[in-house]
Amino acid sequence: MRQVILIPDPEVGGYTVEVPSLPGCISEGDTVDEALANIKEAIELHIESMIAHGEEVPEDFAPIQLMAV
């Protein structure tokens, strides 16, 4: 299980999802459920690719703290 950041897009609609512990692992969906399903698949594929290329798969970060500045 990985922590993700779910970012709503108020202008276009839908959601973008990023995985902080896997840079470059990003997905999207029209609904929260769709976005989360899509990122689960993206995480699996991202990790498979890292392993196939001999890269070390990083552990997930400590709990994320979200702050507005």
The residues spanned by each domain of the chain are: 1-69
Please list, residue by residue across 48-63, b when 16 or more beta carbons sit within 10 angstroms of its beta carbon and e when fewer do: eeeeeeeeeeeeeeee
pTM confidence score = 0.86
Instruction: Answer yes or no: is pLDDT of 1 > 90.
Output: no
The CATH topology of domain 1-69 is Double Stranded RNA Binding Domain (3.30.160)
**CA separation (Å) from 23 to 4, 13, 33, 69?**
11, 24, 22, 22
Band of the pLDDT at 51, cuts 50, 70, 90? very high
Tell me which residue of 2, 39, 48 sits closest to 17, measured CA to CA. 39
More confident residue, 59 or 66: 59
**Cα-flanking dihedrals φ and ψ of residue 38, to 5°?**
-65, -40
Instruction: Answer yes or no: is pLDDT of 63 > 80.
Output: no
Q: Which residues contact 49 (CB under 8 A, 6 or more apart)?
A: none
